[in-house]
Amino acid sequence: MQKLQKILVALGVLLLLSVACSKTEEGGIGGKADAAHSGSKEKSLREYNIEQAQRLKRSKNPCDTLALKQYILDNYPAGTLLVQMDRTYSYNIPKEAVIYYRHKGHTYIFALIAKSKPGERNIETKNVVGYESSFINLDSTKLGTAFFFLTLFECENNTFHKIWESEVPIHGGFNKMRLKRWRPKNILFVELNYEDGIISGHRNYNFFLVDGIKKPPHLLETYIGLAHKRTMTNINNDKYPDYFEYRYIDSTYIRQYDSIPFYWDTSRHLYVTKVNKRWTRKY
């Protein structure tokens, strides 16, 4: 009987230790583990992080990135975050995916925002950024599903105003963003670069400001992989970018055998080709 009592006491101690460890995992009660499933705890954790960053900041700018993160926290549902770019080196501090642009005396901010799918685990930056996270596109439910949106804000009188947001049709693998110019028509566009381990390459989602900065952009996807390739070009000389889609033969070795030109059909709002009228693409 005494031996049985000792065993029961030992089991009780182990049970208490396991409960304590689970509660202190990743920041304790109210930390990251709980925040992944609780909207209020997730917001509280992000609020704390922003406050700490504000304390350490040397100078205050009412339109800076910290202010934008606070705006997103205050005005978006739980599980919404300003995405960070991938680290260039393992010891780098990751930068937020934002681009500041001055135009005609106004301050505009291009920002990449990720929203969590309602009813699933709240997403975390580490699960949607970088090469390994590109495989989340196969099955992302365990780590939460991320919906990316390129969003344009204007900061006026120390206040942010959302002008438009445009969805990015991918769930993970984000690398970096850049503001570029399409030389044939001198049009600005924002390039979002995503790593893609599935095709052994990368994808670019290019948002063209064909009607000016305040109008929703036009989306064109380009990519390069082991046996996948699509490159930007100018086919019909209008203001919309076009592309070549390449075909490959994958037998004893991979060989490119054809390139198909696609151009934007303004009446159908689709990319089409004269090669086959049934071949259409949304972007």
Instruction: Report whether 202 contacts 196 (CB < 8 A).
Output: yes
The answer to the question of residue 95 being in a domain is: yes
Residue 11 lies in a domain: no
pLDDT at 140: 59
Phi, psi of 70 (to 5 degrees): -65, -40
Domain count, the chain: 1
Query: Is residue 21 classed as helix, strand or coil in its secondary structure?
Result: helix
Q: Cα angle at 177 between 45 and 99, to 5 degrees?
A: 75
pLDDT > 70 in the chain, percent: 77
Residue 268 maps to a domain: no
Q: How high is the pLDDT of residue 35?
A: 54
- Is position 204 within any domain? yes
Q: Does some domain include residue 260?
A: no
Distance CA 263, CA 25 (A): 53
pLDDT at 30 over 60: no
Per-residue pLDDT at 271: 98
What is the distance between the alpha carbons of residues 204 and 181, in angstroms, rounded to a whole number? 14
What's the Rg (C-alpha) of the chain? 24
Over range 104-115, report the average pLDDT.
Answer: 95
Residues spanned by the domain of 79: 29-226
Average per-residue pLDDT in the chain? 84
- Asked if the structure places residue 84 within a domain, the reply is yes
Inside any domain, residue 136: yes
Confidence check: pLDDT of 152 > 70: yes
In a domain, 49, yes or no: yes
Q: How far is CA 253 from each of CA 147, 201, 227, 239, 248, rounded to the nearest angstrom?
A: 36, 17, 10, 38, 10
Instruction: Name which of 43-52, 99-108, 158-167, 215-224 the model is least confident about.
Output: 43-52
Cβ atoms of 234 and 242 within 8 Å: the answer is yes
Task: Give the pLDDT band (50/70/90) at residue 17.
Answer: very low
43 pLDDT tier (thresholds 50, 70, 90)? low
Question: Whole-model pTM?
Answer: 0.80
